[in-house]
Structure 1
Amino acid sequence: MTEPRDPEPSSPDQPASDRELGTEQSPTSEPSPTSEPPLTSEPPLNRRAAREAAKLGAGDPLLGPDPDATQLLPQAEETTELIPRDDATQLFPAADATRLFPAADPTRLLPAADATQLIGSAAPPSTGGGDTGGTGIRSVIARHPRAWLFSTLAVVFVLLGTGAVFAGAAVGSSGTGSSAAPAAVSAPAPTKSVTPPRPTPSTPAAATALRTCSVSAQAAASGLGSFGGAVLNATTGEVLFDRNGSKGVAPASNMKSLTAATALAVLGPDYRFSTTVYAGTTPGSIVLVGGGDPTLSALPVGQESVYPGAPKLSDLAAQVNSAWEKLHPDLPISSVVLDASMWNTSDEWDPSWPVSERTIGYQPLITALMVDGDRANPRLATSPRSTHPIENAGAAFIAALGLPAGTPVSQGSTGASDVQLGQVKSQPVSALIGQMLPNSDNTIAEMLARVSSKVGGKDGSAASLAAFVPATIASSYQLDTAGLVVKDGSGESNQDGIPPLLLARFMAKASAGGQHLNVIYSALPVSGRTGTLATRFTGANAVARGAVTAKTGSIATAYTLGGIVHAVDGTPLAFGFFAEGKLSATAAMAAIDTLTTAVFRCGNNLSNN
């Protein structure tokens, strides 16, 4: 039986699939325009080959008919359909798409060499008896046609994917391969936005120091009761510590500092209180006119009262006797009129003052005429005061004149002529302040306040001080007096109020010494050295002795201290500390001293925390 012959070798230009498997075209390829190549004879097959050939002819019963190998490797026309020649130049910059594949024909997916080099020899087995070890690629493909089909397609997809990568790179590059490159579209020029310049401060903000020294524990001491306080740098004015600093608190004798400042602003440091005697309009009468000098002394020459250098009543009496003798040599003085009408004589005691202040000896009735501050013992600062200071002054004057004890004495504001018989003056206000502040003299303080009101155009009353003192402090020293409440000049009233910040700022001004405030600062007590601070700052607080210049304050419901701390680092710190409540005087003063000493140690590193 004659077996079908393999086709004769075709031209080298014919695809390897045609040369190997015959001229059957791929189902997707177009018919060849030439006639089918002639068949050639091939040697007969042995029995095994026959059986294999039968299998090839019938196909695998499980996998179905055997596809023609030409379906596994696409024909040239298929390749050109996948990558058309006309469009290939759009994918690659080169003019000829064959640059993607080394083969001469761009439709080739395999080199031009015989396909048998890639998949092995398909020559028929030997005609001798016995098996030669296989029937070639045909039998392999016959047994697994679909596996080979899918593998071949995978190879094709990989090659096509590689081409796509190069095509993308070419399209993204600025080549000239495309003959129809799209014209560049010019975008409209963006509108230039003008950004306004950022505002910058003409002067950079000063750096804020980080302060770490706290006195919070000392400020919370139970001995301070309801506490208010403030500390500031006396040089820069920067507030370093503030506890209720803007709230008015009873200042006790720290009110005397503002009273002194008022007197300096209104009266001036050289003003002197006067006590004058005029001839009366009634024959034989004289009028003693008080000018608010509490220091006028009944002590004889050579003896000093608590007010060193005070004018003597004896000196005034001598002037009067001499002048009267010249005017009325034949008419003796027969009556004395006491004129204390510089302010209303009934306005002599504030209802908020405890009566014990007078009976113990801290405060007299406030009248424009008195001697030795109406003390029972002029040599003692604390000495009981009377209920009739004007009469006491009259009696002392009659004795100084040498008149009989029963000489008629009256009080009034009329009956004086213009004839002055004699006058004595106190020491200047600057000296009086120097006597008032170290010893916290209430009597001088009240007289300074009342006389300042009278000379300043008010009526000299206690009520006038409420508006007069704040207005004077504000206008004269440019201080904010919000919260300042004034009931008196001494601070004896628990209804007075000074904000701690106001007191601290005032003390800073006083330490600077302008506007005669050096008079106040130089008169303030010094810790552990002078005045009411002489016995303070003991024990652990002794380290601050000599370093605190401040005014003390003490009434039954308030204990205060305000002034300047010369800190250990050299910084002057102005402060005002106020303890309010029903407190132990000893505990309150000790707590204030401890707090002040802590501030002394902190210096400009004092923190408000």
Structure 2
Amino acid sequence: MAPQSEPGRRAPRLTYGMAVVWSVVTILLGYAVLDVADAAPGVLTLRPLPPPAPTEYVARRTLPLVPQPSLSTSVEAPLPSLAGDTAAATASGMERALASVVSLPALRDSALVVRDGQSGEVLLDQRGDDLRIPASTTKLLSAAAIGRVFAPDETLRTVVREGDTPEQVVLVAGGDSLLAPGKGDPEAVAGRAGLGDLADQVARALKGRGTRRVTLFVDESYAGGPTTAPTWAPTFRSSGITGAVAMLGLSSQRARGGAPGPADPVVSVRSAFVKLLESRGIDVRVAPRGRAPGTPGSPMPTPTRSGAPSATPGDSATQDDRAAAPTEGPGAILGSVQSAPVREQLALALTDSDNALTEILARQAAYRSGAGTAFAAVGSWVVSQVAALGLDTAGVTLSDASGLSRENRVRASLLSDVLVLGYDGNHPVLRRALDGLPIGGLTGTLADRFAGSNHAAAGRARAKTGTLTGANALAGSVVDDSGRLLVFVGMVAGVGTNDARAALDHLVAAIASCGCR
């Protein structure tokens, strides 16, 4: 007879199954704990979420604004015994410190100048008077020239006025190429003035007069000229190296490397403005391009032939015109928006090495001084203005203001003169422009430089880069280990870009770390 099962005989089998389940649960819980503690791979963690990636907002300046060290800040070093005049570098000390650097193959045929930024004393001069292709360091000369025309807080105004009849409205190109496509941002440089704000004003003024159907003209007589230079490569604009040069433009359409801006920025602004007015209940017909009704250029400043602006820079050229403009009838102003100060735009142009923005500001300055507006004429005007500052410009020639032309010739010694002049405190527009120079390892065209063995200059060097095929340059300032502000210029020819940059970075890092007394 088969044995009878005893009560509870199946219990061990049930206990074993439960043990397996609990073992699995225990293992999973243990792994989860390790995952949370980041001791094992997985999605669980107690760490805070990483910050989102930086976002570029159209029309907003995202680069940090860090004041350039000056006499008052650079001489107060942590160790008082190293401060002031006792911390000044000497020519012999600089020569010893840089002996191995200047002998680098990439720098053997270079023009190098190093100067004390506080006294101006020349500490090193290696072929500093040779005429070289300056590339984008040309912008330093242009900044000095522009600063002679525009006052520190002067802005550019974009105006819409009535034409000869109430049904005619005229958009006056006033030099602001950084208009926000919608609402302006009072904290921005690119996008301070908003095209949408201008449309609000104009639509409100028109409706207040009972006008809902208009013909839109564009007055392009202010500082008009060609959009690209004959000495530039045809691909410069189409590849985004530069935008087209025009006295109207949108901040959202600034040219970037690989992302070209519009071939005709004025037409782009006009089209955007038409859409904005129509969305506000105004029926718009676009007039053919040509002479706009009313006084050409009004209410923009007009040039003189004496070499000076028609009004004291920043004083009243636009303010007087606005005050004198009728409130009704032909010429009445229907709307107006103002850009960021020119000195802020100039600093942005240097930070981003924005070729078109530099040309736009230089052309306006030349126009206000009574000079021509062709690229070569503006370049010649820049040289004349630098000479008017008391600097030696013998042999210097410029075919543009941005440095894209290979026909430009500048001496490293002259670039150092401009830098020293900019730090003396007597030229606020130029000084603000120098504050906008890219910072080594942090911003602009120097964001990815001064790493590794050259890190001594990271965060301390500010410089304008210059890059054309076979011609590389770097010009700016650095605070050395003694807390002294030093100015440097390096111009390299016939060397590959990577080799030239590495050698120039090594030079600046050596200057930053030497003390050189």
Q: TM-score, normalised by structure 1?
A: 0.59
Matches within 5 A, 1:451-600: 451-475=364-388, 477-516=389-428, 517-581=430-494, 583-600=495-512
Matches within 5 A, 1:86-101: none
Q: Deviations over 1:463-522 (max 9, x none)?
A: 3223321222222x3222223222222111122222101111211222233221331232
Matches within 5 A, 1:368-517: 368-372=247-251, 374-375=253-254, 383-402=259-278, 407-416=285-294, 417-475=330-388, 477-516=389-428, 517=430
What SS is found at the alignment partner of 1:550? strand
Q: Kindly tell me: are residues 224 and 386 of structure 1, through their superposed partners in 2, closer, same or farther at Cα, counting changes over 3 Å?
A: farther
5+ residue gaps, structure 2, are: 1-89, 295-329
Q: Deviations over 1:274-318 (max 9, x none)?
A: 1111112255221111011110121x3388999544211111111
Structure 2 counterpart of 1:241, from 101, 118, 124:
124
RMSD: 2.7
In structure 1, distance between residues paired with 2:153 and 2:505: 35
Structure 2 counterpart of 1:325, from 189, 196, 207:
207
Structure 2 counterpart of 1:271, from 154, 166, 169:
154
2:168/2:214 contact within 8 Å kept: yes
Alignment match, 1:15:
none
In structure 2, distance between residues paired with 1:509 and 1:317: 42
Q: Deviations over 1:6-27 (max 9, x none)?
A: xxxxxxxxxxxxxxxxxxxxxx
Q: Kindly tell me: are residues 587 and 210 of structure 1, through their superposed partners in 2, closer, same or farther at Cα, counting changes over 3 Å?
A: closer
Q: Kindly tell me: are residues 386 and 319 of structure 1, through their superposed partners in 2, closer, same or farther at Cα, counting changes over 3 Å?
A: same
Q: Kindly tell me: are residues 332 and 543 of structure 1, through their superposed partners in 2, closer, same or farther at Cα, counting changes over 3 Å?
A: same
In structure 1, distance between residues paired with 2:244 and 2:142: 18
Q: Deviations over 1:439-475 (max 9, x none)?
A: 2122221111001011122233323223321222222
5+ residue gaps, structure 1, are: 1-207
In structure 2, distance between residues paired with 1:305 and 1:235: 32
What SS is found at the alignment partner of 1:535? coil
Q: Kindly tell me: are residues 440 and 305 of structure 1, through their superposed partners in 2, closer, same or farther at Cα, counting changes over 3 Å?
A: farther
Matches within 5 A, 1:268-347: 268-282=151-165, 284-298=167-181, 300-301=182-183, 307-327=189-209, 329=210, 331-345=211-225, 347=226
Q: Kindly tell me: are residues 373 and 473 of structure 1, through their superposed partners in 2, closer, same or farther at Cα, counting changes over 3 Å?
A: farther
- Cα deviation, residue 398, structure 1: 0.1
In structure 2, distance between residues paired with 1:275 and 1:381: 28
Q: Deviations over 1:214-238 (max 9, x none)?
A: 5344334344584212112223322
Q: Kindly tell me: are residues 373 and 229 of structure 1, through their superposed partners in 2, closer, same or farther at Cα, counting changes over 3 Å?
A: farther
Matches within 5 A, 1:4-403: 210-211=92-93, 213-224=96-107, 226-282=109-165, 284-298=167-181, 300-301=182-183, 307-327=189-209, 329=210, 331-345=211-225, 347-372=226-251, 374-375=253-254, 383-402=259-278
2:113/2:122 contact within 8 Å kept: yes
In structure 2, distance between residues paired with 1:210 and 1:243: 14
- Cα deviation, residue 553, structure 1: 1.8
What SS is found at the alignment partner of 2:357? helix
In structure 1, distance between residues paired with 2:108 and 2:269: 43
1:485/1:497 contact within 8 Å kept: yes
Q: Deviations over 1:195-246 (max 9, x none)?
A: xxxxxxxxxxxxx974451534433434458421211222332222222211
What SS is found at the alignment partner of 1:489? coil
Q: Deviations over 1:345-402 (max 9, x none)?
A: 4x221122123221122312212222237448xxx68631222222111101101111
- Cα deviation, residue 262, structure 1: 1.7
Larger radius of gyration: 1
In structure 2, distance between residues paired with 1:527 and 1:340: 40
Higher RCO structure (Cα 8 Å, ≥6 apart):
2
In structure 1, distance between residues paired with 2:286 and 2:108: 55
What SS is found at the alignment partner of 1:336? strand
What SS is found at the alignment partner of 1:434? helix
Q: TM-score, normalised by structure 2?
A: 0.69
Identity across the alignment (%): 31
Alignment match, 1:26:
none
In structure 2, distance between residues paired with 1:467 and 1:351: 15
In structure 1, distance between residues paired with 2:108 and 2:266: 41
In structure 2, distance between residues paired with 1:524 and 1:547: 12
Q: What amino acid is the match of 1:262?
A: A
Q: Deviations over 1:166-219 (max 9, x none)?
A: xxxxxxxxxxxxxxxxxxxxxxxxxxxxxxxxxxxxxxxxxx974451534433
- Cα deviation, residue 592, structure 1: 0.8
2:184/2:197 contact within 8 Å kept: no
What SS is found at the alignment partner of 2:236? helix
Q: Deviations over 1:552-575 (max 9, x none)?
A: 222233221111122223432211
Which of 274-283 and 316-325 deviates more? 274-283
Q: What amino acid is the match of 1:324?
A: L
In structure 1, distance between residues paired with 2:133 and 2:166: 52
Q: Kindly tell me: are residues 310 and 394 of structure 1, through their superposed partners in 2, closer, same or farther at Cα, counting changes over 3 Å?
A: same
In structure 2, distance between residues paired with 1:491 and 1:267: 21
In structure 2, distance between residues paired with 1:302 and 1:423: 12
What SS is found at the alignment partner of 1:294? strand
What SS is found at the alignment partner of 1:213? helix
Q: What amino acid is the match of 1:493?
A: S
1:297/1:371 contact within 8 Å kept: yes
Q: Kindly tell me: are residues 282 and 381 of structure 1, through their superposed partners in 2, closer, same or farther at Cα, counting changes over 3 Å?
A: farther
In structure 1, distance between residues paired with 2:341 and 2:142: 15
Q: Kindly tell me: are residues 406 and 301 of structure 1, through their superposed partners in 2, closer, same or farther at Cα, counting changes over 3 Å?
A: closer
Q: Kindly tell me: are residues 382 and 434 of structure 1, through their superposed partners in 2, closer, same or farther at Cα, counting changes over 3 Å?
A: farther
1:221/1:591 contact within 8 Å kept: yes
In structure 1, distance between residues paired with 2:215 and 2:114: 58
Q: Deviations over 1:514-567 (max 9, x none)?
A: 221331232222222332222211111112222312222222332211111222
2:391/2:414 contact within 8 Å kept: yes
Q: Deviations over 1:22-56 (max 9, x none)?
A: xxxxxxxxxxxxxxxxxxxxxxxxxxxxxxxxxxx
1:374/1:392 contact within 8 Å kept: no
In structure 2, distance between residues paired with 1:397 and 1:508: 44
In structure 2, distance between residues paired with 1:255 and 1:536: 21
In structure 2, distance between residues paired with 1:408 and 1:513: 48
